[in-house]
Homo-oligomer: A and B are copies of this chain.
Amino acid sequence: MATSLPPTLDAELATLLGADGWLTGEQMRRAHGEDDSRMSALPDAVAVPRDRAQVAAIVRACRAHRVPIVARGAGTGTTGAAVPFAGGVVVSFARMDRIVEIRPGDRCVVVEPGVLNGDLQQALQPHGLFWPPDPTSFERCTIGGNLACNAGGPRAVKYGASRDNVLGLVAVTGTGETIRCGGPWTKDATGYDLTHLLVGSEGTLALIVEATLKLAPRPRAQAGLRAFYRDAAGAAAAVARLMAQPQVPAMLEFMDGSAIALLRRHGIDVPDAGAMLLVEADGDDDTLPAALQALADAADGEDLLSLDVATDGSARDRLWAARRALSPALRTIAPGKINEDVVVPVSRIPGLVAGVEALAAEFVLPIVVFGHAGNGNLHVNILYHPDDDAETARAQAALPRLFELVLALGGTLSGEHGIGVAKRDWMDRAFDAPTLAAMRAVKAAFDPDGILNPGKVLPL
Q: Which residues of A contact B (CB under 8 A)?
A: 103-107, 127-129, 149-152, 156-157, 161, 163-164, 173, 177-181, 183-194, 196-197, 199-201, 205, 217-220, 240, 243-248, 282-284, 286-287, 290-291, 293-294, 341, 343-347, 372, 374-377, 410-419, 423, 427, 430-432, 434-435, 437-439, 441-446, 457-458
State how many copies of this chain the complex holds.
2
Are A218 and B246 interface neighbours, CB within 8 A?
A: yes
Q: What separation, in Å, do the CA atoms of A103 and B343 have in the docked complex?
A: 17
Q: Which listed residue, B127, B150, B191, touches A457 by the CB 8 Å rule?
A: B191
Q: Knowing A179-B435, A438-B446, A445-B445 touch, does A244 contact B129 (C-beta < 8 A)? A: yes
Q: What separation, in Å, do the CA atoms of A240 and B189 have in the docked complex?
A: 22
Are A192 and B457 interface neighbours, CB within 8 A?
A: yes
What residue in chain B is nearest A195 (Cβ atoms)? B196
Q: Which listed residue, B187, B246, B432, B443, touches A283 by the CB 8 Å rule?
A: B246
Q: Knowing A416-B189, A418-B189 touch, does A240 contact B105 (C-beta < 8 A)? A: yes
What residue in chain B is nearest A283 (Cβ atoms)? B246
Are A343 and B192 interface neighbours, CB within 8 A?
A: no
Most buried by B among A163, A186, A418, A446: A186
Most buried by B among A218, A240, A290, A446: A290
What residue in chain B is nearest A196 (Cβ atoms)? B196
Are A435 and B180 interface neighbours, CB within 8 A?
A: yes
A170 CB to nearest chain B CB (Å): 10
Are B156 and A346 interface neighbours, CB within 8 A?
A: no
Are A187 and B415 interface neighbours, CB within 8 A?
A: yes
Are B184 and A192 interface neighbours, CB within 8 A?
A: no
Residues of B contacting A192 in the complex (Cβ-Cβ under 8 angstroms): 197, 200-201, 205, 439, 442-443, 457
Q: Knowing A189-B150, A445-B441 touch, does A345 contact B287 (C-beta < 8 A)? A: no
Residues of B contacting A219 in the complex (Cβ-Cβ under 8 angstroms): 246
Are A437 and B187 interface neighbours, CB within 8 A?
A: no
